[in-house]
Amino acid sequence: MQYFTREGDSMIFRNNGETIVVTPWGRDSLRVRSAMMGEPRDDRFALLDPAPCPEDVEIAIEERKATLRNGKITARLEIDGWLGGARISFFNRKGELLLRETESGNALKLTPREFQPLTGGDFALNVTFDGQEGEHFYGMGQYQEEQVDWKGCTLEMKHRNSQASVPFVISSRGYGFLWHNPALGYASFGKNRTTWHADATRQMDYWITAGDKPADISFNYASATGFAPMMPEYGLGFWQCKLRYWNQEQVLEVAREYKRRGLPIDVIVIDFFHWPRMGDYRFDPEFFPDPEGMVRELRSMGIELMVSVWPLVAMTSENYEEMKQQGLLMRADYGEQVALRFMEDAMFFDATNPRAREYVWNKCRRNYYDKGVRIFWLDEAEPELGSYDFRHFRYHAGSGQMVGNLYPQCYSRAFYEGMIQAGQENPVNLVRCAWAGSQRYGALVWSGDIMSDWTYFRRQLCAGLSMGAAGIPWWTTDIGGFHAGDPQDPNFRELLIRWFQWGCYCPVMRLHGDRQPAQPVYRKDGARALNSGSDNEVWSFGEEAYPILVKYMRRREELRPYVRSLMKEAHESGAPLLRGMYYEFPDDENCALLRDQYMFGAQLLVAPVMTPGARSRGVYLPRGTWRNADTGELISGGRRIDVSAPLEVIPVFERVSG
């Protein structure tokens, strides 16, 4: 029997209704697809056209075994077990095993690719690989856990406010793996096996690459899914934000005060509910009577304006009936056509629908972009559902169960493509969620509506490192956390200072939060509008905090050439700015699990203080020579040291050699 054939540069397996296609997909990389009772589809949820392979592809076919080599990676398919399935293994250029599907177990009659039929013709899918002793997994996006190594963990593949599932991992064994499937599901990195599960799908589809070091894997992944645009110059400095500047004069007066004090500021932000009704996609003229004049004055001060846009369309919006009639909204499969109740009943626009993307962008172009706004804050991007029951909703691209994780990528795409068409170079927009490929649409992801406490502070560092490993280099947090935080509370002030210091060494430095107590807002007719929070400017946190915050605003300016070089590196190579210690020191096992320090680029080791009351902390310095950024002291690495960290100092070490 002829199990294996070659078609062009692809290797094909057929038996018992299953078709597997293994295709070279860029340098040292392969795409693997499997379909039951049909040919695999070429869905491009995240993958782009493959880059040319620098080496000739080699395929060898035998009766019960076939291999395909593309540069540093080789796939081997072997007939396995009583059922005659194919077991897939991957090897590096040295012939060392990288990853192998689980075996059939003969009498157990297991299958590494388990297609479980669903009513309606699709499948639930489990794909399982052997667990490898000592393996570490990095990436997978943003989860609110104090973890950087996901070995031994199970992660749901579903977006939530402050959770972004980006199903790409870098393995310490020298490979990267993309689960190229936007279905709801989970990934389990167990001791005995790794399992990828999709609740509903048409086929198996994943991409795998081999690399000698993590930077090779990042480059290959970005080549396959897209490189982030170059960060504009205003992305390198300080961004001022709060919930919420509710009128035009308030925005301008805050900007003027920064300039009066001689403080560097690149961006100021207008948050949500600046509109008449949610989904109107325009300024409320009662509170923002002259948007063009506002933008002109800000720009005269060297400040760009960022404006929040929500994908929710309230039933009272001037656009709701037209969007409903034109089929531009998500749809509930049963029951009420309401996705979220916040202030009003509303439904999300269907970002997977090209017509809906065009409609929303055209509204925003006329009402914001043409008035001078060049940065958008794309909130609610998961999308945030009232019960997170994605199975309940249907999109242009398919059921929520099958494609639900694709939404944030399409949301970023709507604005990126619109801004490119309008002639803007390198659009970068703040967005609350992401999926594989979001980076190519200028997604600057922030970590959502997190709590203002030390536990969440520590979690954000882990989240940022995981997002970088998952191929999303533009990432940030709400400095100080979002929920709560009283500027008059000494305990919160300490947290804010420590978070602000760390923000200086994040890709984007942005101060935001819903500070307490809330401040009521009223319309001219006496009607209540959405509250504003308390003050959240750098002079809002007391006399002790102010000079420390100013110190790190000015340090960010001093770092601008270095940050610019890191942005360029990310744009050209896919390398993250926030790097787990393993990324720069993959051969140092002491770095494998470190989660409270990191590399900001290749040169700066940053060790945030993330414990209340701490005035010193331990730091591991890898081999080489390091310079303390505050004292200038030269220190030999290869050891753990205790370093002083008074309230005005975040420990940072410059890599001199090694």
Sign of the Cα pseudo-torsion (214, 477, 558, 299, in order): positive
For residue 530, count CB atoms less than 10 angstroms from its CB and return exposed for 0-12, middle for 13-18, buried for 19 or more: middle
Catalytic residue among 145, 358, 449, 453: 449
DSSP 521-556: EE-TTS-EEEEE----SGGGS-TTHHHHHHHHHHHH
Residues 113/125, Cβ–Cβ less than 8 Å: yes
In angstroms, the Cα distances linking 631 to 216, 549, 635 are: 35, 19, 11
Q: Which amino acid is at 72?
A: K
What is the four-CA torsion angle of 37, 43, 47, 53, rounded to 10 degrees? 60
Q: Which residue has the tokens 């009283």?
A: 486
Our answer to whether residue 284 is catalytic in this structure is no
Of 80, 199, 379, 478, which is the active-site residue?
A: 379
Among candidates 648, 599, 601, which has minimal Cα distance to 621?
A: 599
- What is the DSSP track for 560-595? HHHHHHHHHHHHHH---SEE-HHHH-TT-GGGTT--
For residue 150, what are its two tokens? 């996901």
Q: Where does residue 279 fall: left (phi above 0), alpha (psi -120 to 50 degrees), or beta otherwise?
A: left
Helix (H) or strand (E) holding 223: helix 214-225
Q: How distant, in Å, are the alpha carbons of 613, 617, 621, 633, 643 from that of 640?
A: 21, 10, 6, 16, 10
Residue 176 neighbours by CB distance under 10 Å: 28
Q: Which two tokens stand for residue 1?
A: 């029997």
- 379 flagged as catalytic: yes
Q: How many whole angstroms separate alpha carbon 189 and alpha carbon 197?
A: 12
Looking up tokens 């400017």, which residue turns up? 537
Give CA separation, 570 vs 402, 444, 473, 555, 601, in Å.
31, 13, 7, 22, 10
Residue type present at position 95:
G
List, in sequence order, every residue forming a beta bridge with 99; answer none if it has no partner: 90
382 is catalytic: yes
The catalytic residue among 28, 382, 478, 584 is 382
What are the residue numbers of the active site? Answer: 379, 382, 449
